[in-house]
Amino acid sequence: MSILDKVNFPPDLNGLTIEELETLAKEIRKIIIQVVSKNGGHLSSNLGVVDLTLALHRIFNAPEDKIIWDVGHQSYTHKIITGRKDKIFSIRQRHGLSGYPDIFESEYDAINTGHASTSLAFASGMAVARDKQNKKHNIIAVIGDGALTGGVALEALNHIGQIKQRLIIILNDNKMSISPNVGGISKHLNYLVSGRPYIRLKEVIQSILRLIPAIGKSMVDIARKIEVLIRTMMVPGSLFDELGVKYIGPIHGHNIKEMIKEFEESKKYDFPVLLHVVTEKGFGYKPAMQNPSSFHSSAPFDIHDGKFIRSSKLPSYSKIFGQTVLKLIKKDKRVIALTAAMPEGTGLEIVQKKYPENFYDVGIAEQYMFDFAGGLSISGMKPVIAIYSTFLQRAIDQIIHDLTLMKLPVVVGIDRAGLVGGDGATHQGIFDIAILCSIPDIYVASPKDENELQHMVYTGVKSNKTVFVRYPKEPGKGVNLDEDFKEIPLGKSEVLREGKDGVIFAFGPLVYEAKDAAEKLSKNDKIELSVINVRFIKPLDKELILNYIKKKKRVITIEDGILEGGFGSIIKDIIVSENIKKINLLSLGVSDGIIEVASREELIEKYNLNSEGIYSEVKRFLNKKRINIFKI
Ligand SMILES: Cc1ncc(C[n+]2csc(CCOP(=O)(O)OP(=O)(O)O)c2C)c(N)n1
């Protein structure tokens, strides 16, 4: 019988010795490696916090004590020992466990997370509420050194240090964001870990003491006292202490005994404390320790050699984006590539390697990145941002207030746009169209394939406009790339198929699904549809679109974004505002704002956005005499 067999909930940890906890940690690591090798997931971050999680749950009394996991991608051990062990192999699968904390999944999950840097603010609010209600429980925020670079975390620290509620912050420092962490805070943490000034001064004093011939006992005592004094004065906890949060550490994050002692101590303070816990990403699995970035958000892999099992050999849109930016920089050194802590995911890693002087990783700082781009742009440079759709949400004010109102040219690659597999509701890219299309004076484009992507990015940089280009994570068709860049006429659509019975408007890779569906309708049902590759969702190619709407009367819109306020509703608005009569409109898209955990294929199927779904929905729509989805 393993120790894990006996552990279902945190109180089961109480009777275990330190050795048994260490064995349990090994058992849990094995399970996590197995799970992620099958389902994919955040391997290195989870392996790094197994010991930390056991120590936390041993000392604190969840769910009464609130443990908040920043980002939440590292919560697998927490899930395993809070009643979800039997479901852990379902993680990130449809109808399975979420890969992030979810208050609807378990009472042990204090808040939902997924986007970085929110834990401290939540913890602070919860601590104030606790104190106002005269409750006594502990509130513990676990935040990584990467997430600590996020503005909202720093805003929280600033406030926490002022209002000084009782609050425990566990800083899980592994020197890594997804890639090696960046910036002054990261340097400061390294400085704290190495304790350099203290060590240097200690050496100096010891060598002075060595010069005194016979050191009596009292002298040794004095030396020790001096050392303690120096330690108090010199161990630099300065940034946090200066902000009003007591710094404790560094603490060995793979030494359960040491953590248990320090966590127990931390309960005694009636003001905010930060425990600096040093961990290693990927701890306990060699391939992940050697390559923590690749195993950060890992594809399924072979446990024996750590080799990834790729579902597609085709290059991703992100890769084509990175290559395009590389070519653009080669031609024009004013092009500057920017990422907020995602050089690998966004494909900009090759730019970072080849043109480090034309590349900036700003850390988890999406808002800053857009204003930084604004500063570059207003001064004559050509910033190109790569960002996931879901994280773009952080920077909406910067886009409106800082870029648009000054009409500053910036090109933004919106990666992971549309439905996103595995991560669930927190990581969907379904809102960008609805949000961006309401902003004046910008361009929102979506290429149907990789070749169109490179031309759009090139066109964007050349245009001196604010241009957003959205594309999904999954590879496209693997079309050949033109050798030379071509300019795509801004705001112009492309007619891909002509048919008398109606028109489908689509954009992005779903254009191919629409075209396949139209061909099947032609072959099987003698229904002939025009298919338009919309290309620019904003501004729309109004003349062409109106023309087709008026001529065809039966209009189908397709998008992998939220329907409310999305492309379909923009088309509906045009029909109404232009007072076009007798139009039947079917809008296919995402009807839920909160998306269940599932693969992209499953989600695309659920919302009838693959060729089969489009085929059957459109057939049903066209077969109806009177269409009630939307009729004017
Ligand atoms: C706002 C936001 N930007 C980017 C990300 C993508 N992301 C997920 S985890 C991560 C790194 C987090 O590093 P850290 O907090 O140190 O945790 P670790 O994985 O190292 O344990 C990043 C950039 C995110 N989740 N949220």
Pocket test of ligand 1: the residue of 44, 71, 152 to mutate, having most ligand atoms within 8 Å of its CB, is 71
Separation of 343 CA from ligand 1 center, angstroms? 12
The count of other CB atoms within 10 Å of the CB of residue 201 is: 16
- The backbone torsions φ and ψ at residue 106, rounded to the nearest 5 degrees and listed phi first, read -155, 145
Mean pLDDT calculated for residue range 350-378: 98
Task: Determine the straight-line distance between the first and last CA of the chain, rounded to whole angstroms.
Answer: 68
Q: How far apart are CA 335 and CA 84, in angstroms?
A: 48
3-state class of 168 per DSSP? strand
pLDDT exceeds cutoff 90 at 278: yes
CB-CB contact of 374 with 408 (8 Å): yes
Q: What is the average pLDDT score of the chain? A: 93
Q: For residue 147, give the ligand 1 atom closest to its CA.
A: 15
* Residues β-bridged to residue 494: 533
Mean pLDDT calculated for residue range 309-318: 89
pLDDT exceeds cutoff 90 at 214: no
pLDDT exceeds cutoff 70 at 220: no
- Indicate the angle between helix axes 196-211 and 217-234, nearest 10 degrees: 160
Note the pLDDT of residue 632: 46
Note the pLDDT of residue 176: 87
Least confident of 273-282, 537-546, 608-617, 620-629: 620-629
CA atoms within 13 A of residue 7's CA, in its CB half-sphere: 25
pLDDT exceeds cutoff 70 at 232: no
pLDDT exceeds cutoff 90 at 325: yes
pLDDT exceeds cutoff 70 at 234: no
Mean pLDDT calculated for residue range 522-532: 97
Separation of 475 CA from ligand 1 center, angstroms? 23
* Residues β-bridged to residue 172: 144, 277
Q: How far apart are CA 437 and CA 457, in angstroms?
A: 18
| pLDDT confidence tier of residue 579, bands split at 50, 70 and 90 | very high
Mean pLDDT calculated for residue range 563-571: 97
Could you write out the DSSP letters of every residue in 405-438? TTT--EEEEEES-B--SSS-GGG-B-SHHHHHTT
Which DSSP category does 403 fall into? Answer: I
pLDDT exceeds cutoff 80 at 621: yes
Q: What is the pLDDT of residues 380-427, one digit of tens each?
A: 999 999 999 999 999 999 999 999 999 999 999 999 999 999 999 999
Separation of 120 CA from ligand 1 center, angstroms? 15
CB-CB contact of 41 with 283 (8 Å): no
Rounded percentage of the chain residues whose pLDDT exceeds 90: 87
If 0-12 CB within 10 Å is exposed, 13-18 middle and 19+ buried, where does residue 480 land? Answer: exposed
Note the pLDDT of residue 225: 62
CB-CB contact of 334 with 312 (8 Å): no
Note the pLDDT of residue 628: 47
Pocket test of ligand 1: the residue of 118, 177, 254, 280 to mutate, having most ligand atoms within 8 Å of its CB, is 177
pLDDT exceeds cutoff 70 at 136: yes
Second-level CATH architecture of 3-195+236-290: 3-Layer(aba) Sandwich (3.40)
The model's pTM is: 0.92
- Higher pLDDT: 161 or 226? It is 161
| pLDDT confidence tier of residue 626, bands split at 50, 70 and 90 | very low
**Candidates 3.40.50.920, 3.40.640.10, 3.10.20.30, 1.10.340.70; correct CATH number of 494-623?**
3.40.50.920
Separation of 177 CA from ligand 1 center, angstroms? 6
CB-CB contact of 457 with 465 (8 Å): no
Mean pLDDT calculated for residue range 5-9: 97
| pLDDT confidence tier of residue 629, bands split at 50, 70 and 90 | very low
pLDDT exceeds cutoff 70 at 231: no
pLDDT exceeds cutoff 70 at 237: no
Active site residues: 281, 366, 394
Pocket test of ligand 1: the residue of 46, 295, 296, 364 to mutate, having most ligand atoms within 8 Å of its CB, is 364
Note the pLDDT of residue 375: 98
pLDDT exceeds cutoff 50 at 195: yes
Topology match between the domains 3-195+236-290 and 494-623: yes
Q: How far apart are CA 176 and CA 296, in angstroms?
A: 10
Query: Residues with Cβ within 6 A of ligand 1?
Result: 45, 48, 71, 73-74, 115-116, 144-147, 172, 174, 176-178, 281, 340-342, 364, 366, 391, 394
pLDDT exceeds cutoff 80 at 133: yes
Note the pLDDT of residue 311: 76
CATH superfamily of 317-470: Thiamin diphosphate (ThDP)-binding fold, Pyr/PP domains (3.40.50.970)
**Domain residue ranges in the chain:** 3-195+236-290, 317-470, 494-623
Separation of 410 CA from ligand 1 center, angstroms? 25
Note the pLDDT of residue 102: 97
Note the pLDDT of residue 222: 67
Note the pLDDT of residue 219: 64
Which DSSP category does 355 fall into? Answer: -
